Structure 1
Amino acid sequence: MVYQKILRFRISLSGSEPEIWREIDVPDHYQFWELHVAIQDAMGWLDYHLFTFSPRKQGPTKGKPIGLPESEHDDSLIAAWDLPVKKYFTTLGNTIDYIYDFGDNWHHEVMLVGMFLAPMDSDYPQCLIGERACPPEDCGGMFGYQNLLEVLSDQEHEDYADMVEWLKGHAKNYWPYKPESFKCKKVKFTDPYLRWCKAFNQPYEP
């Protein structure tokens, strides 16, 4: 039987209490763009904003962040599609910081927690386990999210009706918002190449 190598990551949204987290498996041939898409899908983000991976060790990046270069001549960071994740995640416990939406500044800790072999015909990525719903996009970062939860907990709050209306009218209808609810089976992983083509207005050629 032919096998493929799988990397298991634990993703935790920093500052969340109770903790919002996921555990996912991805093929070891993934590069950081593909890992970004998998994190977005598993967490429940909508990929509306910029992101960056900020290394905690020198390694192959020499400390440079990994993300979306402004042009092909931008050497301030490493293009996410140019670096395989296995080049950085060489040992269990290796960790990188993933920041999504530079306005709301959602900070995630991404840690390699497992490496194993799986049959080549197995379908990856997979979401194994996790807890709590993703915060709504554009809710104002962790401070705004905590305020949202406080407002929704009290139907007599002066901002309750406006908050419900905002959640209903969002690009994704978040209402009813259940912060404690998360089901792995509902996670749908997007084709990273298709996501890339849409992001950069390129024709999709499967």
Structure 2
Amino acid sequence: MANQRRDVFRFRIELLDIQPPIWREILVPASYSFWDLHVAIQDAMGWEDYHLHEFQVPEPESGELLRIGLPDDEGFGTGTVTLPGWTVGVIEWIEEAGQTFDYDYDFGDGWKHRITLVGVEPRIKGQRYPQCLAGARACPPEDCGGVWGYENLVEALLDPKHPDHEDLRNWVPNGWGPEIFKASDVRFDNPKRRWKLVFGEA
């Protein structure tokens, strides 16, 4: 059983429906809430936290999906309330290697991530967490139109004769390329700072 003060979770994050895969492997404290994990996923993947998000975690006994993210009293029309992520500890639902759950980001573009708990490890004294250990390929640019838009974007960027090549080359972030990623470049924000930034509280 994981200990939230002494252990860290090793998670693999994979963006679904894109080949070759876009993925990251991170270590986060076992004391993290789902809000904290959301911030770590955003930073590791390279998203900019512009849009809504939601975790979908299967309940072990019933298999029903527990929805965790930004508070929602109306269930976004699904009839299911979304619990506020900062009130739910990851360890309450996830602590066995091999467990998987989903993380949706930007309901318009529809980015779905599969999160897998690779393992539970002891904290190393003096190490700072979270950490990005490995990964592959760049995160799609924000608002590029989901999987279909991303595939068209990459096709146009790789073909100088494509009619949209020049416009899209100027539109993507400076230095962005579909294969560019270095785990050592990842910088993690403080989840409490991000919460205050999002909700405008001092």
State if a TM-score over 0.5 links the two structures.
Answer: yes
Aligned residues: 195
Q: C-alpha separation between the residues in 1 aligned to 2:89 and 2:125?
A: 19
TM-score with structure 1 setting the length? 0.88
Partner of 1:66: 68
1:90-169 matches, within 5 Å, as: 90-167=95-172
Partner of 1:16: 18
Say if 2:13 and 2:114, in contact at 8 Å, map to a contact too: yes
Matched letter for residue 6 of structure 2? Q
Say if 1:94 and 1:111, in contact at 8 Å, map to a contact too: yes
Q: C-alpha separation between the residues in 1 aligned to 2:70 and 2:141?
A: 23
Task: Give CA-to-partner distance per residue, 1:80-130, whole Å, 9 cap, x none.
Answer: 001110111121111110000000010000010011112343210000000
Name the SS for the 1:99 alignment partner. strand
Q: C-alpha separation between the residues in 2 aligned to 1:119 and 1:106?
A: 33
Is residue 2:91 matched to residue 1:86? yes
Is residue 2:21 matched to residue 1:6? no
Name the SS for the 2:87 alignment partner. coil
Partner of 1:44: 46
Segment of structure 1 superposing worse, 51-60 or 138-147: 51-60
Q: C-alpha separation between the residues in 2 aligned to 1:153 and 1:135?
A: 15
Shift of the 129–59 alpha-carbon distance from structure 1 to 2, 3 Å rule, reads farther
Task: Give CA-to-partner distance per residue, 1:115-152, whole Å, 9 cap, x none.
Answer: 11123432100000000000000000010000000101
Unaligned runs of 5+ in 2: none
Partner of 2:193: 194
**Aligned residues: CA RMSD:** 2.1
Is residue 2:183 matched to residue 1:181? no
Q: C-alpha separation between the residues in 2 aligned to 1:60 and 1:120?
A: 38
Name the SS for the 1:64 alignment partner. strand
Q: C-alpha separation between the residues in 1 aligned to 2:120 and 2:12?
A: 12
Say if 2:31 and 2:89, in contact at 8 Å, map to a contact too: yes
The alpha-carbon deviation at position 165 of structure 1 amounts to 2.2
* Ranges of 4+ aligned residues in structure 1 off by more than 6 Å: none
